[in-house]
Amino acid sequence: MMKIFGTCAYKGTNYHGWQKQVDRVSVQNTIEEALSLIYNTKITIFGSGRTDAGTHAHRQSFHFEAPKQKDLAQLTYALNKILPVDIKIHGLSTVDDSFHARFSVKRKIYEYHIVLTNKEPFFYGTAYIYPFEFDYPLFKKALQLFIGEHNFQDFTSREDDEFNFVRVIYDIKVKKKGNLVIVTFEGNGFMRYQIRNIVGTALAVASKKELLDFITAHLEHTKDRAIVSYKAPACGLYLADVKY
């Protein structure tokens, strides 16, 4: 058996997220079916983490156990011939048995794309179309409050298996080109809906619905736990890279 590492890109609009689901089309399902067809046996892949339904990836990582040796360049080519147009395998390589696509992760980088307009057909499904008031300097100031080590329990969903809500966000960068705003997050890991809730809350501040103190109160937990109600849509979120 060989352990193979792969990276892929996908447009998540037509998928119910990365993770395999019963009776629903996911990215993991789709890649596994293609690999199983090529190897003529059931193949299971393990991703670096979940992405939500409708979320995209520039560079998602995964690994799988290959039952027999194949030329990896040819395997990459064969996979891309089989897979639908909205999934692309960047490349495959062998890794040590100790490697795990999820548990070996050191950092993750995400992007969130916002288009400041009331209608933009070419970004439909791949960015958050945001036609509301937007104070750019205030938006950046709000996002800076999230940098560092914090308990993000108010900015994630309540998962049954989630007991530790502390994460470190190393950096948040914001770039604006015309009406397109791209926010880049780098951290040691992110929980479900964390980035979408952070972006949505920062937009609430930028549109003067909330004050900066609203963020501080939820990070410092001066109130009883209450998950923020400003969740940005999945269509603007991209897994940009995974670092090992």
Report, as residue numbers or ranges, the catalytic residues.
52
For the record, the structure tokens of 173 come out as 């960068």
Among residues 193, 192, 190, the alpha carbon closest in space to that of 241 is found at: 190
Report d(CA 112, CA 232) in Å as an integer.
Answer: 9
Answer whether 172's CB lies under 8 Å from 143's CB.
yes
Please state at what angle helix 194-206 crosses helix 212-220, rounded to 10 degrees: 150
- Report the amino acid identity of residue 63: H
SS3 assignment, position 154: helix
Q: Which residues pair with 175 in a beta bridge?
A: 182
Answer whether 66's CB lies under 8 Å from 4's CB.
yes
